[in-house]
Amino acid sequence: MNIGTMIKRLQDIMRQDAGVNGDAQRIEQIVWMLFLKLYDAKESEWEILEDNYKSIIPEEYRWRNWAPDNKDGKAITGDEMATFIIQLFATLKDLEVDENTDARGRLVKEVFTDLNNYMKDGVLIRQVVNVLNEIDLTDFKVRHAFNEIYETILKDLQSAGKSGEFYTPRAVTDFVVKMVDPKVGETIADFACGTGGFLVSALNHMKEEVSNTTSNEKLQKSFYGVEKKSLPYLLCTTNMLLHDINEPQIIRGNSLEKNVRDYDENDKFDVILMNPPYGGTEKKSVQQNFPTELRNSETADLFMVEILYRLKQNGRVGIVLPDGFLFGTDNTKLAIKQKLMEECNLHTIIRLPGSIFAPYTSIATNLLFFDKTSPTQEIWFYRMDLPKGYKAFSKTKPVEIRHFDDVIAWWNNRIEIKDTKDDESLSETWKSKKYTIDEIKKLNYNIDQCGYPIKEEVILSPKETMDNFIMKRESLEKQLDEKLNEIISLIGDLR
Amino acid sequence: MIVDDLKKSLYLACFQGKLSIQNDTDSNVQESLNQIIIDKQIDKKEIKKRKINDEYIEAYKLPQTWKWVKMGYLCDVIRGLTFSTSYKKQKENTILVLRGGNIDSKTEELIYDDNIYVDSSIPNSNQFLKVGDILIVASSGTKTSVGKSSFIHEVDDNVSFGGFMMVVRPYEQIVNPKYISYQIKMYRNKIINDTNGYISNITNEILNNLMIPLPPIEEQQRIVDKIEILLDKLNDIKPIEEELTTMKSNFSNDMIKSILNEAYSGEFAFTNEKIDDWKQDSLIKIADIYTGNSISESVKKNKYMNLEDGYNYIATKDLEFDHSFNYNNGVKIPYSESGFKYADKNDILMCIEGGSAGKKIGILSEKVCFGNKLCKFSTISSDILPKFLYYYLQSPVFLKNFYGNLSGIIGGVSINKIKNIIIKYPSIEEQQKIVDKIEELLPLCDDLDSLVKA
């Protein structure tokens, strides 16, 4: 089973359907079906393990009852299929749930609440379903292999041009998790979880520790995520299910919409891992949930404040932030950094090369590690340089966990490293250095230290330059068109 | 930008009633208006006081249920505080006074910077800002600031506003404050055009006579909701448009850089010479390199301005980014003057110090004197074509080295460092082919530039 070709086959089928527009919709189409199929596979397990398990999905809409095609001419297709899917969506959106409903059941309703089915052609829908049924998700091994394919789907989603959020490379999440080292029994949160990258990395890390059913059960309730947009939310919940978290605690919403002063111990976590969206601006109503002196319209800054209010005593944090946070000294950024260093021990900052998120963006990012044990006494900086032979990371040569080996070696044996220069007259720069809190204060909390000495400009070949330009322009124009279409539909209601 | 165009046309459509439903069950505008006139006692005397005149110019046709109403019937217009220089910068039980600078020009939100305070005895009771007010810059030395407004959605109790500011306080029984706020934003340009004098000034009279297309109050809320969703969407579009514009303006330069990089990294290989086969030398071995003379302003004015004869003197400002020279710039050095260095026709001049270091370069078409931030290059080796050197100095291969050696506060590269930079070069034949190719491709990039930006 070559999943790569499977995805291509699915896309080829869907391209013939007039209702599906663009990669993002195609992916949403694949994923809702995948979710139902996966859910069905899990239900088979639950039915075996629990005597009283009853599915919240009405019988006729359960994947097992309408999706399989025994090639006897009885499988629904054509117009009948098209109508059926419309009814399926309507039913699942309207499932009756209350506080007594099993969390697994509630998940179905939550997932379908903002989902859309785009395909209009019943014959094509049948073809897509049949392709998906070539994978046997009840087979644990297959499901495990499928995880990696799922990652590909997630990566491809980013090139469909969703702005602001980008897929954090697995190597980065795995590295952060390795350093933060969450343990079984701890609670792990990501308040802007996207497709669930950090949560899954943490889960994989902790699974190595799981030795018996008790710890496995503890794992079930360990993860907490919040995601604003419907498609990543769907992908995240499916991701958690794929990894056998049966009742994923993923909330659909904007965690910034709660007043930080209303958080109590139950809202706090042992471990917080995040790559918040950068460059976003939050409305006034959202900003008011934060104290005036820390109030800012920048999304990433507000998330940083939220973290400070939701970290348990002795808790640990690993977060990805842009350069702007490090050197920014406008009023609230300064106040936020001060609060961070007064309440927490910001012990390590790793500078990442600009191309680490290539090809989606070339923004300069950094990993900040801190814990709530004591105020900051000193901060260690380390600049991660590109590996030998790499002019830059790219789509074909992405960052891998092995590229972090040097960083990990240094982490456990921290020394200051000065950059060697061919020309001694050039000013000295450091790859790794320790700064005391007093030195930081003198620098007015500018923690943009041990940066990259020369702004390395990557010059591509003429053809690459042109291809890049065309690709980027297409992606931007696609985004522009999508937004314009949203506006048209908003005003189209009336005229 | 499409965002700006869209914003204007969406506002207009909203205020023509095209983006909201007219409901039969909505309240009656005329009745509400009659009621307000009674409640607020807007009698003949008051109308005169507010300077509401008879001019009724209806800009466009309104839906049935709407009515054109002058703002003087819908709001109180309040002028700001006048006070002597007894204001303090310290907050001690006193009143914060907002001024034009307290409204952020980009976001149009209040910013509490550079605050001043006055004693609590100074403001009248109606000069305290309330939620629902619209704070407007009524006059300013900067004409573009006039009419800048901020809708007050949250404010502390003891905040007032200065004499160059005005507050529009809508009557909430008949008008939605946010609705009025958007009206004011849309008419900001119109307001600016209506003022006169060097220091633009919006008077109570102007505001009171502003024609407001007034829907029933329920519909006003629907319109406000609609505008806010649309503005959100437009805000999402803005960064996309800006990125598109930036990348389009960078494209042609990126292409040029890329082509030159290919050329000088030996990727063209017309005669199959690989980069490893290329010879190399330090620049000083293949070219004459030196900087020019600086002339102080006074000496320049007294001795070298507007002379009839002499060599033209080229300073950094006289060399354009498009490689052209402004030879007749008014400064000439007499032919027989001693102490000046020269550059000959066909020599290369390049800026190596200051903000334009590495960015300005050209080939001279006459003999000149030149400034000390410019450096002359002329080939002395028969192994190097002048044009090969010329494009080399513009290529990333050279510039990476160059920028890597920038030093000093002003940012320049010492002449010695430049002399020691190593240049790699192939056979003359290959050099010529490379130069030809470059000269074929570069004009195409210029064409690209105008096409892409169209």
Flag whether residue B404 sits within 8 Å of chain A, measured between CB atoms.
yes
What is the reported pLDDT for B327?
95
User: pLDDT of B361-388, one tens digit each?
Assistant: 999 999 999 999 999 999 999 999 999 9
What is the reported pLDDT for A164?
44
List of chain A residues whose C-beta atoms are within 8 Å of the C-beta of residue B257: 459
Mean pLDDT of B432-454: 88
This complex has an ipTM of 0.74
Nearest CA in chain A to B17: A494
The yes-or-no verdict on residue A6 having pLDDT over 90 is: no
What is the reported pLDDT for B372?
93
Q: Are B361 and B323 in contact (CB under 8 A)?
A: yes
Say how far apart CA A302 and CA A128 lie, in whole Å.
42
Closest of B264, B260, B283 to residue B275, by C-alpha: B264
Contacts A–B by Cβ distance under 8 A? 77
Say how far apart CA B162 and CA B97 lie, in whole Å.
6
List of chain B residues whose C-beta atoms are within 8 Å of the C-beta of residue A464: 258
B20/A472 touch (CB, cutoff 8 Å), yes or no: no
List of chain B residues whose C-beta atoms are within 8 Å of the C-beta of residue A480: 237, 240-241, 244
The yes-or-no verdict on residue B411 having pLDDT over 70 is: no
Closest of A308, A300, A298 to residue A261, by C-alpha: A308
Choose the closest CB to B258 out of A297, A459, A473.
Answer: A459
What is the reported pLDDT for A455?
58
What is the reported pLDDT for B197?
43
B6/A487 touch (CB, cutoff 8 Å), yes or no: yes
List of chain B residues whose C-beta atoms are within 8 Å of the C-beta of residue A475: none
Mean pLDDT of B410-439: 89
Mean pLDDT of B115-135: 89
What is the reported pLDDT for A4?
65
List of chain B residues whose C-beta atoms are within 8 Å of the C-beta of residue A472: 247
B404/A469 touch (CB, cutoff 8 Å), yes or no: no
What is the reported pLDDT for B189?
61
User: pLDDT of B49-59, one tens digit each?
Assistant: 999 998 888 88
CA A245 to chain centre: 16
List of chain B residues whose C-beta atoms are within 8 Å of the C-beta of residue A286: none
A483/B239 touch (CB, cutoff 8 Å), yes or no: no
The yes-or-no verdict on residue B195 having pLDDT over 60 is: no
Structural tokens at position A194: 């996207």
A491/B107 touch (CB, cutoff 8 Å), yes or no: no
B240/A466 touch (CB, cutoff 8 Å), yes or no: no
Higher pLDDT, B290 or B269: B290
List of residues 6+ apart from B19 with CB closer than 8 A: A491, A494, A495, B10, B13, B223, B226
Higher pLDDT, A114 or A356: A356
Flag whether residue B190 sits within 8 Å of chain A, measured between CB atoms.
no
Of A117-121, A455-459, B54-58, B190-194, the poorest mean pLDDT is in: B190-194
What is the reported pLDDT for B190?
62
From residue B217, give the alpha-carbon distance in Å to each of A304, B65, B185, B202, B221. Answer: 41, 11, 19, 27, 7
The yes-or-no verdict on residue A89 having pLDDT over 90 is: yes
B247/A469 touch (CB, cutoff 8 Å), yes or no: yes
The yes-or-no verdict on residue A62 having pLDDT over 90 is: yes
Q: Are A132 and A142 in contact (CB under 8 A)?
A: no
* Strand B369-370, strand B165-170: pairing: unpaired
Choose the closest CB to A494 out of B21, B153, B251.
Answer: B21
Provide the whole-model pTM: 0.58
Reported as half-sphere exposure (CB side, CA atoms, 13 A), residue B269 has a value of: 9
Question: b/e map of A432-448 (b: 16 or more CB within 10 Å)?
Answer: bbebebeebeeeebebb
Secondary structure of residue B196 in the 3-state scheme: coil
Q: Are A351 and A383 in contact (CB under 8 A)?
A: yes
Q: Are A415 and A361 in contact (CB under 8 A)?
A: no
User: pLDDT of A430-474, one tens digit each?
Assistant: 899 999 999 999 888 888 888 887 655 678 888 888 888 888 888
User: pLDDT of A316-338, one tens digit each?
Assistant: 999 999 888 888 877 688 899 99
The yes-or-no verdict on residue A360 having pLDDT over 70 is: no
The yes-or-no verdict on residue B440 having pLDDT over 50 is: yes
What stretches of B260-371 adopt beta strand conformation (E)? 279-282, 287-291, 311-314, 332-333, 348-351, 361-363, 369-370
B240/A486 touch (CB, cutoff 8 Å), yes or no: no
What is the reported pLDDT for A161?
44
List of residues 6+ apart from A336 with CB closer than 8 A: A294, A296, A301, A304, A305
pLDDT band for A143, please (50, 70, 90 cuts).
Answer: low
CA B280 to chain centre: 45
User: pLDDT of A239-269, one tens digit each?
Assistant: 888 788 888 899 988 999 999 999 999 999 9
Question: b/e map of A174-211 (b: 16 or more CB within 10 Å)?
Answer: bbbbbbbebebebbbbbbbbbbbbbbbbbbebbeeeee
Q: In the predicted model, what is the mean pLDDT of chain B?
A: 88
Mean pLDDT of B250-274: 89
| B413 CA: distance to closest CA in chain A (Å) | 12
pLDDT band for B196, please (50, 70, 90 cuts).
Answer: low
What is the reported pLDDT for A381?
95
Closest of B57, B60, B63, B55 to residue B29, by C-alpha: B63
Closest of B183, B182, B204, B186 to residue B195, by C-alpha: B204
| B380 CA: distance to closest CA in chain A (Å) | 28
Say how far apart CA A463 and CA A466 lie, in whole Å.
5
Q: Compute the C-alpha angle A140/A144/A150, nearest 5°.
A: 135
pLDDT band for B199, please (50, 70, 90 cuts).
Answer: very low
Choose the closest CB to B233 out of A425, A469, A483.
Answer: A483
Using only C-alpha atoms, chain A has a radius of gyration, in whole angstroms, of: 24
